[in-house]
Chains A and B, each alone.
Chain A
Amino acid sequence: MNLLFLAATPVAAATAVPSPSPSPISPFGPTIIHFNFLLSTLVWAPVVAAVVIALMPNARGRYDRAILQVAFWTNAFLAFLSLVTYNQANLFSSAPQYEENYPWLPALGINYHLGVDGVTVPLLLVGSIVGLVAVLASTGIRERVREYFVLLLLVEATVNGVLCARDMFLLVVFWGAGVLPVALLVAGWGGPLRRAAAGRYLAYGAVGTAALSAVALILYATTGGVSFDFDFLVHANLGDRLQVVIGVLLLIVAFTRLPLLPFHGWARDLFAEATPGVAVLVAGITARLGGYLLIRLLVSNQHDGATLLAPFLGFFAAATVVYAALMMLRTRDIRRFGSYASMLPGGVFAIGIAGLSSLALLGATFELIAGGLAAALVVGVTATMADRAQTRDFGLMGGLAMRMPKLTWLFLLAAMAVVGVPGFASFIAEAFSFFGSFLTEPGAVLVVSIGLALALVALALASQRILFGHVRGDAPGASDASLSEMWYLGALVGVLLWWGIFPGGPKLGGSVTIFDEGLVNVINNSSADIMSTYPPLPGQ
């Protein structure tokens, strides 16, 4: 099946069930680079860089520039490795790849087990791109530069750790370890309400970590207390009631990260108060880990629990999108506007998960990536606009199109990306999610669509008000985006357009894939495999 064609004609997708391509595609360059510790390098290289930066002498900020460069090149290295991982992943296997498995605490059944599959590999790539973008967005940091980049790199390490972990204990460790550095980044460098924002993030993060720990321990106990390894836990034969308990706990964990109603409070504050770099990193990848967890632990393993909880997930998805759209209409603070807009992709993802069909899961996974990039773009643009306009108040921001034309374009592109206008990757993700979920959750899909329409209205009104309104006499001076700001925002737009235009990868002569094997193909080998264990939907 030509998935590019499928993406371009979403109506056809409504009845199609994606499956791994029947014949191997030969991408350029597989197995050029091969070493056994690829995933460990992705996880631990940022930690090593953080330690190096922490030990660098930096009296009176003398080496701030060097510290920035270490962080940048570390991220560039990670992006290169992630690209290698993405390029060389086996498209025709849903089994874990690049595996590393060593006993760590054998008495408790804990292993240092890393591995990735088709769901994880693109997320790793997106994580490294967002990390690079976050460093570029942080070039304006002037205070305590060393501490800032140490914490930023530690967050990136924990993100990669969560994505690569194939052992529940390891997953919990990385999950929990990522909370405090983000809270410290907000508390140390955020806006006027930074301490409240950090505290709230920590509270939700702590609740999520506790719930995830509980899931790990319940699974461990009910499987005889032998091992925390995913490969072992997936074979657990749990009853309906226990699956629902685990499912509810997993929903709590995911809701606190994505964020979804009613655990969304931290996002409103954090995205409004954090520096652009931190906001981009959290919106782009850290928040997406909640969704990843739902795929990895709920949909993959707890079939009965997922089926029973799907309507509730659909309800909360719809509630989140409508709430976010209404708050976008109501707020007069551009950073809060960006915060609410960044909640939209989480809702669309959740509707894809609630659909529980192959196409819906493909869309949901695609939305994790595209939605993350769109959310990062919208919080990045709004944060940069607030910085450049020297105000967050809509009332003082009229007529910015004349004063910051580059940011005006970027704001419009971000608005289009976050609601899923054709041409952007988020469109394909939304189309797959909606069409895949329509049979099972029609009501929720309808409400989410209405919510997105409302969000579009809010974006149009905000654009009219802040970009094309009258310039007020008491408005502070405004300037356009700097070069580094253009780079980081432009990079996000570029990636969103790339996967929006070439979801099946760019092809020579219609069949030979070059450079990118196609996000749809990479995801589909695992998502179709996951859904193959569910009973077919009526009419399939």
Chain B
Amino acid sequence: MLVVPDALVALAAVVCLLNHRYPLLPRRWLPAAAALLVLAALVVELVVGGTIVSLFGGGFNQDRFALFGTSALLLAALLVILASDWEGLGSGTLGLILLGCFGGLVVASAADLVGVWAGVQLAVLASVAAVGQRDPSAARRLLPLAGAMAALAAIGMALLAGDAGSERLVTLQTALSAQLPLPLAIAVLLVLAALLVALAAGPWLGPMAVGAAGLALLKFGGSVAALGTAWAVLVPALAALAMLLAAIGSLAGGPGRRILGWAGLLQLGWIVAGLAGGSRLALGAGLFLFGVYLAASAVGPVALGETPHGLAGLAERSPARAAGFSVSLLSLAGIPPLAGFFGEFAVGSQLVRGGLFWLVAIGFFSSAVMAFSVLRDLRLVFLASAGEVVAPVARNRLAAGGAATAAAVLIAYTFFANPISGLAVQGAAALGLR
């Protein structure tokens, strides 16, 4: 029963991909059917996922981290399917998105470095292929990046496994010494770099690749958080860099998707900062924020649809899409009272407890700078004057309804923060953190 969600997603992916090659099922109903399957998988996961068990000779772990990660990925996939305008996209794209989701599910449940690596690669490659369906030249540019990422991660993980004597994540914690020697520091750096590259490419790769890479980062981070000085210096520095880069980048402006990307990078900085805390509560806060981030970054771009330059007057043309985009942007930028702010504040509270005041200050400063971009875009969306160009938005009621639903889900995330954050803290505890 515990592998039913994974099986359902894999089944949906295979059906969609086959239907792309051999169109047997009506294309119009495929997204709705896929959404139903993903919803069923989410329900099953929430009902039976509380069981803690190890399957396939210890390669598949069902614990609280897996429950949280799987649920977050399935929710993100559901939101993407609901809010996307499938009239312009083929069933192949749908299948590849679901395949990417399956890769993420593998990461969520993986108990060793091989499973983590394989899941991330599957998600990233499926996402690159999905991009290729719409824009082959973009996919050609992304492919070398994905290859480099895979290589870096493989080398880093191999070095770590070699030193620890095992590829199992649980043994990494105990086997690696507190004083990190240089080769191991390089290995950790390689893995982190690979995962951060995948996350930074999120705006182009899409939420499934981001979900898989993010879960891998949190899982890996949770396992090696005990590593001494290098970890304490490296991770906060990376977090600060991501936050500042996002803040500065957002000032340059650009189309809606780009602002979403910068806001996402800012939130990623906060998530990485959660890793820097090195405690169960800090990583739990980071995991909670990651769930918010995944949902928001999934909704934002698809709510915009295929009109990336069409922010002006979006609320007039498509209120539901405007709501989806705005709520995502506000959450990603960490503007109160949405869940993104909750998560960032939760991470901040743990960082302060750990004495990382400077990192919190950088985070708040970056969020304050990001607020300008949010104001600029929301003014365009809701208050565009008659003189400003209003780009047409494709009218698709199903997608618009999906965008509105996605916005409602993001708002609900705020109100149900307690059980979700509780599960996230348990998820962090499952990684062995205290």
Q: Which residues of A are at the interface with B, using a C-beta cutoff of 8 A? A: 103-108, 144, 147, 169, 172-177, 179-180, 183-184, 187-188, 195, 198-199, 202-203, 205-207, 209-210, 213-214, 217-218, 220-221, 225
* Cα-based distance from A202 to B373 in the complex (angstroms): 11
Q: Assess the A221–B353 pair: CB atoms within 8 A.
A: yes
- The 14 listed contacts between A and B (C-beta, < 8 Å) are A105-B342, A105-B421, A106-B422, A108-B281, A175-B336, A180-B375, A184-B375, A184-B382, A184-B383, A199-B372, A207-B368, A214-B361, A221-B352, A221-B353
* Cα-based distance from A210 to B421 in the complex (angstroms): 23
Partner of B336, one of A104, A147, A176: A176
* Cα-based distance from A199 to B368 in the complex (angstroms): 12
Partner of A203, one of B357, B372, B417, B425: B372
Q: Which residues of A contact B348 (CB under 8 A)?
A: 213, 217
- Does chain A have a CB within 8 A of B65? no
Q: Assess the A180–B335 pair: CB atoms within 8 A.
A: yes
The CB with the most chain A CB atoms within 10 A, among B281, B383, B425, is that of B383
Nearest 9 CB-CB pairs, A to B?
Answer: A206-B368, A188-B383, A176-B336, A210-B364, A221-B352, A217-B352, A177-B336, A173-B336, A177-B337
Q: Assess the A172–B375 pair: CB atoms within 8 A.
A: no
**Which chain B residues in 331-377 approach chain A with CB under 8 Å?**
335-337, 341-342, 345-346, 348-350, 352-353, 357, 360-361, 364-365, 367-369, 371-372, 374-375
Question: Interface size bucket, B side?
Answer: 35 or more
Partner of B425, one of A107, A147, A209, A217: A107
**Which chain B residues in 359-405 approach chain A with CB under 8 Å?**
360-361, 364-365, 367-369, 371-372, 374-375, 378-379, 382-383
Minimal beta-carbon separation of A218 from chain B (angstroms): 7
Interface of B is mostly: helix
Q: Which residues of A contact B104 (CB under 8 A)?
A: none
Minimal beta-carbon separation of B368 from chain A (angstroms): 4
Q: Assess the B337–A210 pair: CB atoms within 8 A.
A: no
* Cα-based distance from A221 to B382 in the complex (angstroms): 39
Minimal beta-carbon separation of B276 from chain A (angstroms): 15
Minimal beta-carbon separation of B316 from chain A (angstroms): 9
Minimal beta-carbon separation of B244 from chain A (angstroms): 14
Minimal beta-carbon separation of B378 from chain A (angstroms): 6
Contacts A147-B382, A172-B336, A217-B349 hold; do A103 and B418 have CB atoms under 8 A apart? yes
Q: Which residues of A contact B342 (CB under 8 A)?
A: 105
Q: Assess the A107–B383 pair: CB atoms within 8 A.
A: no
Q: Assess the A210–B367 pair: CB atoms within 8 A.
A: yes
A-B contact count (CB 8 A): 105
Contacts A107-B284, A174-B337 hold; do A147 and B383 have CB atoms under 8 A apart? yes
* Cα-based distance from A199 to B348 in the complex (angstroms): 26
Q: Assess the B418–A105 pair: CB atoms within 8 A.
A: yes
Q: Which residues of A contact B369 (CB under 8 A)?
A: 206
Partner of A213, one of B315, B364, B382: B364
Q: Assess the A105–B417 pair: CB atoms within 8 A.
A: yes
Minimal beta-carbon separation of B383 from chain A (angstroms): 4
* Cα-based distance from A333 to B352 in the complex (angstroms): 47
Task: Name which residue of chain A comes closest to B415, CB basis.
Answer: A104
Q: Assess the B281–A187 pair: CB atoms within 8 A.
A: no
Q: Which residues of B contact A203 (CB under 8 A)?
A: 368, 372
**Please, what's the 1-or-0 string for B101-119, where 1 marks a CB less than 8 Å from any CB in chain A?**
0000000000000000000
Q: Which residues of B contact A105 (CB under 8 A)?
A: 342, 346, 417-418, 421
Q: Which residues of B contact A214 (CB under 8 A)?
A: 360-361, 364
Q: Which residues of A contact B361 (CB under 8 A)?
A: 214
Q: Assess the B349–A107 pair: CB atoms within 8 A.
A: no
Q: Assess the A172–B379 pair: CB atoms within 8 A.
A: no
Minimal beta-carbon separation of B353 from chain A (angstroms): 5
Q: Assess the B349–A183 pair: CB atoms within 8 A.
A: no
Q: Which residues of B contact A225 (CB under 8 A)?
A: 349-350, 353
